[in-house]
Amino acid sequence: MKEHLVQALRDLGHEPREGNVRVRGYSGQMTDVEVMIPTRNPVYDIGFRKAGETYEMVADWYGINDIVPDAFLNQVQQRYAYHAVLTRMREQGFEVAEEEDLQDRTIHLTVRRSVF
């Protein structure tokens, strides 16, 4: 869901732009995406576009020096999964009783459901 992606990017400190947006790359090339975040390089962006049932990341990494692609994608995927799990739990009547961020970067959730 696009909402999970946008929230994941916000969790990571980015200000995503949604809708009919474009990412900029080498020599002013533009690519249409559904979600875009600017980078520290004012002429290069990172975008996400729908590819079937998933989103793919789109960027001209040549001009983006402040973000490591694989590490960034792993962080986005983790936060996306986190929000997807929370949504699914709430739909099934669960609530988070406890949340712990562990040193190995995993997130431990304890959930409960009222029996009333």
pLDDT in tens, 61-112: 988 988 999 999 999 999 999 999 999 988 888 888 888 888 888 888 888 8
Q: Is the pLDDT score of 116 beyond 80? A: no
Give the position of tokens 């009222």: 114
The parent domain of residue 104 ranges over: 2-113
Tens digit of each residue's pLDDT (9 = 90 or more) over 45-73 = 999 999 998 999 999 998 898 899 999 99
Total structural domains within the chain: 1
* The two three-digit tokens of residue 47, written as one number: 């975008």
Residue 46: which of 78, 71, 81 has the closest Cα? 71
